[in-house]
Structure 1
Amino acid sequence: MDKEELKDKICSELGGTRKGNVCFVGKFPLDLSSSLFYFKAPEYYKVVSINPEKFLKIAPQIELDRLTIQGIKKSIRNKRPIEPLFFDISEETGKILGHEGRHRAKASLELGIDKVPVILYCRGKYGFVPFERCSKVSMFF
């Protein structure tokens, strides 16, 4: 599969509309060009669209920087591409081990965006494992 086919596949999985290197998942402008690195081994991830409020409830709480949120909101309003959000999930327990994207989720929530793209990875004892081994993921998604 070449890069363009991969971009089409990712955007289709998210129910988005592709325009060049951007996949619009609702109003969320997902950056496909810089995100391709994450999608090279499809057996190691799952892409889902979830409500940003749900993302914020699941992700460990951290203090959010208002200036960062304002900058992300401006980017989204101007339809500039944004990196996807992530969860690393334990193969053994299904618990969240790591995340990226709280500021993007908060900005999306404040803009009334109802779905954001999230990449789910399954982490085993020694690194990432094929996603099918994360059987307890359904507790969140």
Structure 2
Amino acid sequence: MTSEKAPYPDQPPPYSGAGEGGAQPGFAPPPGQPGYPPQGQPGYPPQGQPGYPPQGQPGYAPPSVQPVVTPPTTIVVTSMQMGTRSTPVQCPHCQQHVNTVCEYETGMFAWLIVGVLCLVGCWLGCCLIPLCIDDCKDVRHTCPNCRNNIGMFKRL
């Protein structure tokens, strides 16, 4: 019988075959083999989830799953006072700080001036001049990045 020494004192000796119960030293044998520790305590049934009887027995009720209902998300957009000229704002759509792009549109105020001029007696086309003046029109403010509508300035 030869004694093999480990090359270093803090390492275990080399494997020399199966140990007790047919298992390698340092490893537990597979379940059902001799030397395998029993599960739970002897004389007691195996434990299930705490608070629930084991499945298959009377009185067993699986845990109920309640659906999670989330309320719909509401986006609150504060009304900004838009004027007739470009305004620095934070776009509510793309969240960028931009100066708005103004687009002038003919609105009720311009048409009201046209009607008043027609009633006064301007019949040679001079009554259509308010349709060409930006200061008589409504102003739509849009974002230069995403081209979405940010606000509207109406004269009436």
Q: TM-score range by the shorter chain?
A: under 0.3
Q: Which has the larger radius of gyration?
A: 2
| Greater fraction helix | 1
Higher relative CO (CA 8 A, sep ≥ 6), structure 1 or 2? 1
